[in-house]
Chains A and B, each alone.
Chain A
Amino acid sequence: MKTAVQIARDVQNGESSAVDELNTSLAAVRARNDELHVFLYVDEEGAAAQAAKVDALVAKGENAGVLAGVPIAIKDNTCQRGIPTTCASKILEGWRPPYSATVIERLLAAGAVPVGKTNLDEFAMGSSTENSAFGPTRNPLDPSRVPGGSSGGSAAAVAADMTPISIGSDTGGSIRQPAALCGLVGVKPTYGLVSRYGLIAFASSLDQIGPFAKTVLDAATLLEVIAGHDRMDSTSLPEPSPSLVAHVNDGVAGKRVGVVRELIDGADEEVVDAVNRALDVLREAGATTVELSIPELRLGLSAYYLIAPAEASSNLARYDGVRYGLRVDAADVSAMNEATRTAGFGAEVKRRIMLGTYALSAGYYDAYYGQALKVRTQMIDAFSRAYHEVDFLVGATTPSVAFKFGEKTSNPMAMYLSDVFTIPTNLAGEAAISVPFGSGETGLPIGVQLLGPGRSEAQLFSAARVLEIADSRP
């Protein structure tokens, strides 16, 4: 399948049309969506209209945008006006937002063609997409296995060649982990780089929207389109979108790379091997590597599983059956709230809401949530000290390759542990990329994680590109 950059070039210079590219995409969707359950909603009408618009611009000789005619899949926790946005939850089944997220506006302005909304773990809570209220998504590379989560659908859309690019959201690893399990490039941008306006909130201080792609160049191109200050998001960084594409081939000569044991220890042997081979490649390309230990990172899981649920418990309070979404009637409004939320939320969501409510409640705030916030500061400081020594860090993205359905669902903690390498970056608000590098015994792909300080995406893309070139995978 063509890359996004190739498609845009072909559409802009008339060798192809947006409508044709869309049709190719839709054919691929139709071929495997029943099997893989990637899309919760395919917006044929909207996509056709957007494709026609792009073709009309091209016909007039105008610039149709950096992503002209490129089909793109959107994670279904991102509001797109007029089409269903469900967060894979019964409580929002059928809800059509009266507004679009800022990233959607930017994608449309760049000529991209959103094809539909992809499956996710309900309200982005999960690491396998098994928590979707509408059924799981299957890994296109091995449908007996999970694609990862929570952005499993967006990862699968690209891995199955339905669209060359997609967007997901990452709160504790929900882009990077599925990217690793599906053999894709996945980016969690610096906190505030991409607007959260229109992203249905899970954990406000951790969420970021980011790209999935098969190539580093596509990922950088997509991130450039959606990044940059947004006045609708108070936490948005003040700068305009950074220059990323121009730096993709900068290489890593002279760079100092930290190998963090806490981001490798506990991973399967084949994953550790892949990380080590990646380090060889970086050294051959002119980087120096040094082994680091950042013990503060070990507390990341604990802090995350208090902070994220706490914020989520508050963010999800609005689903009360009053203004939109599911309502289960009852004699009084409190009973109605309770009946609605009990029927509308799945078990994982309920679990996290209760955990979060508990962590914030009177008498427990200091011990749990308050303490977790302090641990977070420590982690930020620890990363900061590390970045005085090195330019970026390398580690594993996930402890193992894609696991089988049902393997981790009996025990929530087991699932939570799969986020151990990705969570620290969210807590610190910094940038990280997962890039495919080699595969395991089963032939399933392995992801290597590159982490950098806030606003360092450009150098991370450069390093990712070095690995991409060396990687034997086509």
Chain B
Amino acid sequence: MSSPLTRAEVAHVAKLARLSLTEDELDLFTEQLGQVLEHASDMNSLDLTNVVATAHPFGLINVVRTDEVRPSLDRDEVLAMAPETQDGRFVVPRIMGEAP
């Protein structure tokens, strides 16, 4: 039985999700994800064109807060949990490309 998704697709998705997989893992996950999608194919046959996705189950809308300043976190407490900091900022290794 062929899987609903290919090994190449799993590799692509792993890259999107910033995960690196071994060759064995790639095989295993392709099979396992395929099983879940296969099971989910019971939804495919349904004609749900006129059904609309539900936002909040109880129809909440317009939840807002007033525009007022509230206390921020203490910077030292925040930086203390960071892997690496310098001059009050978080350090990261070289960024390879501009932001989208």
Binding site for B on A (CB under 8 A): 95-96, 98-99, 190-192, 231, 234-235, 237-238, 298-299, 301-303, 305-306, 313, 317, 320-325, 327, 329-339, 341-342, 345, 350-351, 353-355, 357-358, 361, 367-368, 370-378, 380, 411-413, 416, 428-430, 454
Instruction: Please determine whether A332 and B33 come into contact, CB atoms closer than 8 angstroms.
Output: no
Q: A354–B28 Cα gap in the complex (Å)?
A: 13
Q: A329–B93 Cα gap in the complex (Å)?
A: 8
Instruction: Please determine whether B83 and A339 come into contact, CB atoms closer than 8 angstroms.
Output: no
**Highest count of chain B CB atoms <10 Å: which of A238, A325, A354, A367:** A354
Q: Which chain A residue shows the least CB distance to B36?
A: A305
Q: Please judge, given known A-B contacts A96-B81, A351-B33, whether A338 and B19 are in contact too, CB under 8 Å.
A: yes
For B1-20 the 0/1 string (1 means CB < 8 A from A) is 00001000110011011111
Q: A406–B18 Cα gap in the complex (Å)?
A: 29
Could you jot down 26 A-B contacts, CB within 8 Å? A95-B81, A190-B58, A237-B58, A302-B39, A302-B40, A305-B36, A305-B39, A322-B90, A323-B81, A323-B83, A324-B81, A324-B82, A327-B83, A333-B96, A351-B32, A354-B13, A357-B17, A361-B13, A368-B37, A370-B53, A371-B44, A374-B52, A377-B51, A412-B32, A416-B36, A454-B57
Shortest distance between the CB of B76 and any CB in chain A (Å): 10
B46 part of interface (Cβ distance < 8 Å): yes
Binding site for A on B (CB under 8 A): 5, 9-10, 13-14, 16-21, 29, 32-33, 35-37, 39-44, 46, 48, 51-54, 56-58, 60, 63, 65, 73-74, 77-78, 81-84, 90, 92-96
Q: A302–B38 Cα gap in the complex (Å)?
A: 9
Cβ 8 A contact of B29, one of A317, A327, A354: A354
Q: Which residues of B contact A429 (CB under 8 A)?
A: 56-58
Instruction: Please determine whether A332 and B95 come into contact, CB atoms closer than 8 angstroms.
Output: yes
Q: Please judge, given known A-B contacts A301-B39, A374-B52, whether A358 and B20 are in contact too, CB under 8 Å.
A: no
Q: Which residues of B contact A416 (CB under 8 A)?
A: 36
Q: Which chain A residue shows the least CB distance to B83?
A: A327
Q: A311–B57 Cα gap in the complex (Å)?
A: 16
A-B pairs with CB below 8 Å: how many? 162
Q: Please judge, given known A-B contacts A95-B81, A333-B94, A377-B54, whether A371 and B36 are in contact too, CB under 8 Å.
A: no
Q: Which residues of B contact A375 (CB under 8 A)?
A: 43, 46, 48
Instruction: Please determine whether A302 and B82 come into contact, CB atoms closer than 8 angstroms.
Output: no
Instruction: Please determine whether A345 and B19 come into contact, CB atoms closer than 8 angstroms.
Output: yes
Instruction: Please determine whether B90 and A339 come into contact, CB atoms closer than 8 angstroms.
Output: no
Q: Please judge, given known A-B contacts A331-B94, A358-B5, whether A374 and B48 are in contact too, CB under 8 Å.
A: yes
Q: Please judge, given known A-B contacts A324-B81, A371-B43, whether A413 and B93 are in contact too, CB under 8 Å.
A: no
Q: A337–B92 Cα gap in the complex (Å)?
A: 10
What 6 A-B pairs come out closest when comparing CB atoms? A429-B57, A373-B53, A327-B83, A302-B40, A374-B48, A374-B51
Q: Please judge, given known A-B contacts A351-B32, A380-B54, whether A368 and B17 are in contact too, CB under 8 Å.
A: no
Instruction: Please determine whether A358 and B82 come into contact, CB atoms closer than 8 angstroms.
Output: no
Q: Which chain A residue shows the least CB distance to B33?
A: A355
Q: Please judge, given known A-B contacts A354-B10, A354-B13, A380-B54, whether A330 and B93 are in contact too, CB under 8 Å.
A: yes
Q: Which residues of B contact A329 (CB under 8 A)?
A: 93
Q: Which chain B residue shows the least CB distance to A340?
A: B18
Shortest distance between the CB of A456 and any CB in chain B (Å): 12
Instruction: Please determine whether B90 and A413 come into contact, CB atoms closer than 8 angstroms.
Output: no
Shortest distance between the CB of A208 and any CB in chain B (Å): 11
